[in-house]
Amino acid sequence: MKTFYLILLSTIVGTAYAQEETNACSATADQSLVACNSAADTAKETAYAACENTTERDTCRAEADTNLTNAKVQCEAQNAAQKAACGKLGEAVYDPQIDPANYSSTVSNPYFPLTAGTVWTYSGTTDAGSVTVTREISEETKDIMGVTCTEVKETEKVGEDTTRETLEWYAQDTEGAVWLFGRNNQELDGDQVTSIDGSFVAGEEGAKPGIIMKATPAVNDVYRQEYVIQESEGVGEVLSITETLNVPAGNFSNVVKTNDTDAITPEDIQNTFYAQGVGPISRTSADGTEKLELQSVSPMPDGGTTGGTTGGTTGGTTGGTTGGTTGGTTGGTTGGTTGGTTGGTTGGTTGGTDGQELPTPLASF
């Protein structure tokens, strides 16, 4: 009989463990809700303590109570967003096993190529106002989880004032997918750093890397872009691979459109558009209040490579020598017809097929 009960207990425990493993995503969301509510309660009690040392005690406590209510509403919204993500991603444990041998700092994915020395300029409107964002691929690399990652520097300006500086680190796996391994984000007010929200390094304090661009994106692909519990839980979903988009840098077809969400800020929903051979060309908020568009791409310091924009037509500027007609932008020498953009030498024709290297980023938009 004793043996029977031991077997029964083992079966029950094993079943419970299997269910816990199967429901890992939802279980994580539920535990995160507990932690979020607990943090809100602690913040209220801390505020109450401060209220004891003020003459406006009642007003102070009322404000703390209101903040608690708002915080718990946000906790519930985050939980709902986390559960929605589980519905799309599945319930399995998210714990990517990173073998450095399967990753390279050379990022050549056509929808997210990164070539050292290239600079992209974007402009548009965000909650900060009219902004200009430049993104430069550095010669520097960073070792994260044993993986050598390419460093990308992004700078945001409002007028002449720098309001954000960000470093991001990417690597490409053997399948061709581009992974984000970390970010150092600094929000600025003059020389003062006002926030480092969004910063993480995979492998530290529970942070895990995620995919920014699949090797071969397909409609309905869903993937984690980065994962830091209760801080940053980005999820991307491919909505289309046949968009057509016109931005100041050119006209693009067969553009990939993604829906980008983060359960920690569920109210922020964005769409990013990626052109083949160029990368991100636009990012907009789902409600249309924020929008950034690619303005230009400057060549590599040691000379650009022959490039095209997958159909940049009509209106080339600063054409190169002997060519650069009907859509060449900053064309190179001897060619660059029908769509060459930022061409190097001996330009590509019909969209720049001979060395289409116009990297781009935008994960921090």
String of DSSP letters for 323-364: B--SS-BS--BSB--SSBBS--BS--STTT-SS-------TT
The CATH number of the domain holding residue 187 is 2.40.360
Say if residue 201 is in the same domain as residue 63.
no
Q: By the 8 A CB rule, do 172 and 104 touch?
A: yes
Quote the tokens at residue 69. 């209510």
Asked if the structure places residue 53 within a domain, the reply is yes
Asked if the structure places residue 304 within a domain, the reply is no
| Residue 209: pLDDT over 80 | yes
pLDDT confidence of residue 299:
62
257-278: pLDDT as tens digits: 999 999 999 999 999 999 998 9
pLDDT confidence of residue 97:
97
Asked if the structure places residue 313 within a domain, the reply is no
pLDDT confidence of residue 179:
99
Asked if the structure places residue 309 within a domain, the reply is no
Q: Mean pLDDT, to the nearest integer, of 331-354? A: 37
Asked if the structure places residue 314 within a domain, the reply is no
236-260: pLDDT as tens digits: 999 999 999 999 999 999 999 999 9
Count Cα neighbours of 165 within 13 Å in the Cβ-side half-sphere.
9
Rounded percentage of the chain residues whose pLDDT exceeds 90: 72
Say if residue 44 is in the same domain as residue 107.
no
Q: How confident is the model at residue 336 (pLDDT cuts 50, 70, 90)?
A: very low
- DSSP of 44-82: HHHHHHHHTTSS-HHHHHHHHHHHHHHHHHHHHHHHHHH
Q: Which of 227, 203, 224, 210 is nearest to 145 (CA)?
A: 203
Task: Give the residue from 31, 61, 89 where a domain finishes.
Answer: 89
Say if residue 155 is in the same domain as residue 274.
yes
Asked if the structure places residue 147 within a domain, the reply is yes
Say if residue 289 is in the same domain as residue 144.
yes
pLDDT confidence of residue 337:
36
Say if residue 209 is in the same domain as residue 263.
yes
Asked if the structure places residue 329 within a domain, the reply is no
Task: Give the residue from 89, 124, 156 where a domain finishes.
Answer: 89
| Residue 317: pLDDT over 80 | no
Bigger pLDDT: 106 vs 327: 106
Q: How confident is the model at residue 364 (pLDDT cuts 50, 70, 90)?
A: low
CA-based max dimension of the chain: 93
133-143: pLDDT as tens digits: 999 999 999 99
Say if residue 37 is in the same domain as residue 133.
no
pLDDT confidence of residue 298:
81
63-115: pLDDT as tens digits: 999 999 999 999 999 999 999 999 999 999 999 999 999 999 999 999 999 99
Say if residue 117 is in the same domain as residue 240.
yes
pLDDT confidence of residue 201:
98
| Residue 163: pLDDT over 90 | yes
pLDDT confidence of residue 202:
98
Asked if the structure places residue 184 within a domain, the reply is yes
What is the Cα gyration radius of the chain?
A: 24
Model pTM score: 0.77
- DSSP of 258-315: EEEEETTSTT--EEEEEETTTEEEEEEETTSS-EEEEEEEEPPTT-PPP-B-SS--S-
Q: How confident is the model at residue 126 (pLDDT cuts 50, 70, 90)?
A: confident
The residue segments making up the domain with residue 72 are 2-89
Say if residue 70 is in the same domain as residue 163.
no
Task: Give the residue from 245, 270, 298 where a domain finishes.
Answer: 298
Q: Is the dihedral of CA 342, 346, 348, 352 positive or negative?
A: negative
pLDDT confidence of residue 297:
82
Q: Mean pLDDT, to the nearest integer, of 286-293? A: 91
Bigger pLDDT: 238 vs 310: 238
Q: Mean pLDDT, to the nearest integer, of 320-338? A: 37
Q: Mean pLDDT, to the nearest integer, of 215-222? A: 98
pLDDT confidence of residue 12:
36
Average pLDDT, the chain: 82
Q: Mean pLDDT, to the nearest integer, of 300-305? A: 33
- Coil, strand or helix: which one is 189? strand
